[in-house]
Amino acid sequence: MKCTLFGAELVSQFNTFLLRSNVEPLVMVAQLFKPNFYLEETSIQSTFHSSLILLNSNYAEVKQFRKSEGCFL
């Protein structure tokens, strides 16, 4: 899925995660994003101040998915 991040804070948070030496799979929870339809493709985009991203968070569902994929917890 395509995702557009607006705002320095979200971009910085995502880039910091990607630049880590750890190469485990990423599970991103995107809260308060809006759908965007362009050229017959759907994506999501942040809404400046209200959007939140959680990267490999401690939600039970994320932990369960990562465990099923053999990721370190």
Is 73 inside any structural domain?
no
Please give the Cα distance from 60 to 68 (Å, whole number): 12
In a domain, 32, yes or no: yes
Is 57 inside a domain boundary? yes
Q: 42 is in which domain, residue-wise?
A: 2-68
Q: What's the pLDDT score for residue 33?
A: 84
Number of domains in the chain: 1
Give domain status of residue 43, yes or no.
Answer: yes
With cut-offs at 50, 70 and 90, classify the pLDDT of residue 72.
low
In a domain, 50, yes or no: yes
Give domain status of residue 6, yes or no. yes
Q: For 37-62, how does the pLDDT look when each residue is reduced to its tens digit (9 = 90+)?
A: 888 888 888 887 777 777 777 778 87
The C-alpha atoms of residue 68 and residue 8 are separated, in whole angstroms, by 33
- For residues 33 and 47, give the distance between their C-alpha atoms in angstroms, rounded to a whole number: 6
On the question of pLDDT at 73 being above 70, the answer is no
The structure's pTM equals 0.58
pLDDT tens digits, 3-27: 777 877 878 888 887 888 776 777 7
**Domain-located, residue 30:** yes
